[in-house]
Structure 1
Amino acid sequence: MIRWILLLTLISLKLSAQEFSPAPFLGAGKTALAQKGIYSLSANTSGIAQLRRTEVAVSYQQHFVKTDIASQAILLGIPLKSQGAIGLSLTNYGIFGVSSFLRGGLTYARAFGSQFLTSITANYHQYQVTNYHTSKAFSADLGVQYLWSERFHIGAFFRNISQSAFPTTLDQRIARELGLGLCYYLSEELTLGGDVLKEFPHRLVYRGGLSYAFDTRFVLRGGATSTPVQYTAGAGFVAKDWQFDFASSFHSKLGTSPQLSVRYAF
C-alpha cells in the first residue's frame, strides 16, 4: 500500500494531476487546441460549439503498461437550439483502490457566427488517498477558436484562470496552463497540428502531429511531445455513428501507455 502511494506521489509531482488526452489527440502528439468535436472537452472546450448531434465518448488508458496507474474518461456533448452546446466531462487518474485525481467539468460553448467559437468551463477537482486523505477544489477555464478558413484553424485555451489549488501541504497542483494551437488541413486526407503550452510557473511544452485518412473510414496518426520527450502513434475507424480510436505514447524510460477511445453520435 505504502509502496503504491509513494510511486503515485513521485509521478504526480511531475504530472500535476495530468490532463487527459483521448486517443484521437494522443495519437497525433496530443495536439488538440485547434481541434473540434466531442473530444475537445478534454482540451480546448470551445471545440464543441458547433456540435450538431448529441455525442458521448469514453476512454481508458493504461499508463506505462507494467504499473496499475490508469486514466478513465467519459464525455458528453449536447448541442443547443441556439449556436452553441453544453458539455459534461469526468476524468480520473490514479491507482484503483489506492489514490486518484478526479475532475468533473461543466462547459458552455457558443459560436459567434461561423468562425469564432468560445467557451467557459467550471471544474470540480478531488484528490484522494484511500482511507487517508481527501482534498477538493474548484477552478475555471476559458477557450476560444478562430476558424480562419475551412483549412486553417487557430485555438487558444487558458486552464485554471482562477489559480485554484488543493488546500493541502502535499504538492499536488491543479494544472495552470496557457496554450496556443494550430490545425492545418492540407487536403481531405492529411491534417497537421501543433500546440505550444506554457505550464505555470515553469516550462514550455511543444507538441506536433499529423493525421492521414487513407480511407473515409480509416485514419493513421503520429506525433511527438516535449518535456518529457514522448512519441505517439494511433489509428481510428469510423462505422456509421460509431468511432473507435486506439493510440499510445512511448516514453524512453517508463515505457508505453496504450489507450482506447469510443465515440457514439445519437
Structure 2
Amino acid sequence: MYFDKMKIGIPFVLILFFIGAEAMAQIESMPVSGRASSGWSYTNKNIQSSFANQAGLSEVRGFSAAAYAEQTFLLPDFHNVGLALALPAGDFSAVGINFNTYGIEEFRQNRIGLTYGMKMGPDFSLGAQIDWYQMSISNYGQANQLSFRLGFIYDLFSGFSIGVHIVNPLGLEIYEDSPLPSVFNIDLEWRISDQLVLGGGLVKDIDYDIGFKAAIHYHIHPSITIILGTITTPSSVSFGVLFNLSEWQIQSAAAYHQPLGFSPSAGFSYQKNY
C-alpha cells in the first residue's frame, strides 16, 4: 500500500525538522570502521564490505558475520542497526545477506539485501546487491520498493586501490515523488606501510552537493587501530578504535555533526581465516 501524501505530509516534515533533512538522507548502512572514517569504506575487502562495497566480499573465505548499532545524534529513540552474514560461493566469490533498520517508532525504514562479490582477476573485484526497502509511518501504513546497488574494487598497483560504488542507480521511488537515496562513492586507498593507511574520496547524493572525505588508519599495535576521518557534506568529523582479536574485530566510533551533535556507534565482525 502506498502512502497518501496528504496524510504523511505533517509527520514526515516533523521528522525531517527533528533530525535534519540532509543528515537523514545520509543515514545508510555503513560498518563502524566506515563511520569512524567519515564514510570512507569502499575499498574494504572483508565481511564489513556487505555494508559498503559488496565487491570486497570476494575475499571472504569462510563463514563471516558482522553487526553494528548507532544512536544517531544521541536521540534516545532513534537507532540505526545492521547485521550481515556471508559464505564463500567458490574460491573467489561469496554470497550473503544483510539487514538494516533505522528510525523511530513513528517512522522507520527497513532494508534487506542479498549480496554477491566475485574476484574477476588478481586485481579486480565486482559486487552487487538486490535491496528490498520497507518504509512505515505509524497509523498511516507502509510502502515497499525493490532496488539494487553495484560496485567494484581495483588494485591499481601495490598498496594503492580504488573503490567505486553506486546505490539505487535508477533513482527508484518508494512512493510518488519520494525517491530512495541515490548515492555515488569513489574511494582511494594508499597503504603506505603496515602501520599507516591514508584514504580519500568523494560522495555524491543526487539531492545534495558533492562531499569530499579523508581518513587516516594508524595501527599503533598489531591489535589496535586508531581512525580519524572528516567529510565536507554533511560537514562532520569522526574517530574510532578497532581491536583486532584474530578472527574477531571489535569496533567503536563517534561522528560529530556541527548542528546535530554526536552519533556514537559500536559493532563487531567475525571472519574465519583459512
* CA distance, structure 1, for counterparts of residue 258 and residue 232 of structure 2: 12
Query: Is residue 185–residue 203 contact of structure 2 (8 Å, CA) maintained in 1?
Result: yes
Query: Is residue 68–residue 265 contact of structure 2 (8 Å, CA) maintained in 1?
Result: yes
More deviation, 230-239/197-206: 197-206
* CA distance, structure 1, for counterparts of residue 259 and residue 152 of structure 2: 36
Do structure 1's residue 203 and structure 2's residue 209 form an aligned pair? yes
Give the paired residue count: 262
Which residue does the alignment assign to 1:134? 142
Cα deviation, residue 12, structure 1: 6.5
> Given the alignment, which residue of 165, 170, 181 partners 1:175?
181
* CA offsets 1:156-184 (integer angstroms, 9 cap, x no match): 11211232111245x4x311122211011
Do structure 1's residue 234 and structure 2's residue 250 form an aligned pair? no
Cα deviation, residue 29, structure 1: 2.1
More deviation, 215-224/8-17: 8-17
Task: State the one-letter code of the partner of 1:50.
Answer: E
Do structure 1's residue 101 and structure 2's residue 109 form an aligned pair? yes
Which residue does the alignment assign to 1:250? 256
Task: State the one-letter code of the partner of 2:196.
Answer: L
Do structure 1's residue 70 and structure 2's residue 79 form an aligned pair? yes
Which residue does the alignment assign to 1:262? 268
Task: State the one-letter code of the partner of 1:74.
Answer: L
Task: State the one-letter code of the partner of 1:223.
Answer: G
Which residue does the alignment assign to 2:5? none
Cα deviation, residue 81, structure 1: 1.8
* CA distance, structure 1, for counterparts of residue 221 and residue 267 of structure 2: 20
RMSD: 2.0
Normalized per residue, the structure richer in helix is: 2
* CA distance, structure 1, for counterparts of residue 46 and residue 205 of structure 2: 24
For 2:221, what is the secondary structure of its paired residue? coil
Where do 1:8-87 residues align within 5 Å?
Answer: 8-10=15-17, 11=19, 13-14=21-22, 15-16=24-25, 18-87=27-96
> Given the alignment, which residue of 156, 161, 165 partners 1:153?
161
* CA distance, structure 2, for counterparts of residue 162 and residue 242 of structure 1: 37
Do structure 1's residue 110 and structure 2's residue 144 form an aligned pair? no
Q: Structure 1 pair 85/124, CA: closer, same or farther in 2 (3 Å)?
A: same
* CA offsets 1:175-207 (integer angstroms, 9 cap, x no match): 112221101111101111112122114421111
* CA offsets 1:91-128 (integer angstroms, 9 cap, x no match): 11101x32211111111111012111001211001111
Query: Is residue 31–residue 52 contact of structure 2 (8 Å, CA) maintained in 1?
Result: no
Query: Is residue 60–residue 271 contact of structure 2 (8 Å, CA) maintained in 1?
Result: no
Cα deviation, residue 25, structure 1: 1.1
Note the residue ranges of structure 2 that are not aligned, 5 or more in a row: 1-8
* CA distance, structure 1, for counterparts of residue 233 and residue 32 of structure 2: 20
Task: State the one-letter code of the partner of 1:13.
Answer: A
For 2:226, what is the secondary structure of its paired residue? strand
Provide runs of 4+ in structure 1 moved above 6 Å. Answer: none
For 2:220, what is the secondary structure of its paired residue? coil
* CA distance, structure 1, for counterparts of residue 65 and residue 200 of structure 2: 26
* CA distance, structure 2, for counterparts of residue 156 and residue 208 of structure 1: 15
TM-score, normalised by the number of residues in structure 1: 0.92
Cα deviation, residue 87, structure 1: 2.0
Query: Is residue 84–residue 98 contact of structure 2 (8 Å, CA) maintained in 1?
Result: yes
* CA distance, structure 1, for counterparts of residue 213 and residue 96 of structure 2: 25
More deviation, 116-125/65-74: 65-74
* CA offsets 1:28-50 (integer angstroms, 9 cap, x no match): 22201222211111111111112
For 2:34, what is the secondary structure of its paired residue? helix
Do structure 1's residue 225 and structure 2's residue 231 form an aligned pair? yes
State, as a whole percentage, how many aligned pairs show the same letter: 24
Query: Is residue 61–residue 91 contact of structure 2 (8 Å, CA) maintained in 1?
Result: no
